[in-house]
Amino acid sequence: VVTLQPFAHFANGSLPLVFLVALLVTLIPTTIGGLLSAIGIAGMDRLVRLNVIAKSGRAVEAAGDVHVLLLDKTGTITFGNRRCAAVVAAPGVSGKEVAEGALFASLADDTAEGKSIVEYLRA
């Protein structure tokens, strides 16, 4: 739009400023639509550099507002193959009570974690 006035002057023509402003106003929405894709790609690229994989552009937009990430369970981002290494009692609870509770709670647990608790406490 900025270059149209000099071209018109070079061709010995005139182009009123009102026409240029009207053209600019009509072109702005199409320019923004074209830029949205580029902005989305730039956001995806930024996340990839931080080792984050996004499944969609909407996820990239949402990730921009995230400050804390809470994960609900094993298996969300891990393989779920944790092993029992120790049983620690809370203050006021005996180690024997915790061990018995953990053992009884894990007897019917067929997961690797449940089996490892039983193995650890029976050893």
Q: pTM of whole model > 0.85?
A: no
Among residues 45, 65, 72, 109, the one annotated as catalytic is 72
Q: Provide, rounded to the nearest whole percent, the portion of the chain with pLDDT above 90.
A: 27
112 Cβ neighbours under 8 A, 6+ residues apart: 80, 81, 82, 83
**Is 65 known to be catalytic?**
no
* Contact indicator for 74, 66 with CB cutoff of 8 Å: no
pLDDT in tens, 83-95: 899 999 999 999 9
